[in-house]
Amino acid sequence: MMINAIPKNIDELKKKSNNKHNWHDRLESVETLKNYDCIQSRDILTRLALHDPVFKVKEKAFRAAQALGVSKNGKPIYLSKRKKGSLVKGINKKLEKVRNSLPELYSFDDFKNKFKETYPEDYDIYDGNMDNKFDKWLSNVLNSLPKK
Per-position pLDDT tens, the chain of length 148: 789 999 999 999 999 999 999 999 999 999 999 999 999 999 999 999 999 999 999 999 999 999 999 988 888 899 999 988 899 999 999 999 999 999 999 999 999 999 999 999 999 999 999 989 999 999 999 999 998 7
What count of Cα atoms within 13 Å lies in the side-chain half-sphere of residue 6?
10
* Contact partners, residue 142, CB within 8 Å, separation at least 6: 95, 99, 108, 111
Phi, psi dihedral angles at 36 (to 5 degrees): -120, 125
Report CA torsion sign: 96, 97, 102, 104. positive
pLDDT for the residue 143: 94
* Bridge partners for 71 per DSSP: 76
What one-character DSSP code corresponds to residue 133? Answer: G
pLDDT for the residue 131: 83
Euclidean distance between CA atoms 110 and 23, whole angstroms: 22
pLDDT for the residue 72: 85
Q: Are 127 and 23 a contacting pair, CB within 8 Å?
A: yes
Q: Alpha carbon 5 to chain centroid distance?
A: 27
pLDDT for the residue 147: 82
Q: Are 48 and 17 a contacting pair, CB within 8 Å?
A: yes
What one-character DSSP code corresponds to residue 75? Answer: E
Nearest to 126 by CA among 115, 116, 118, 134: 134
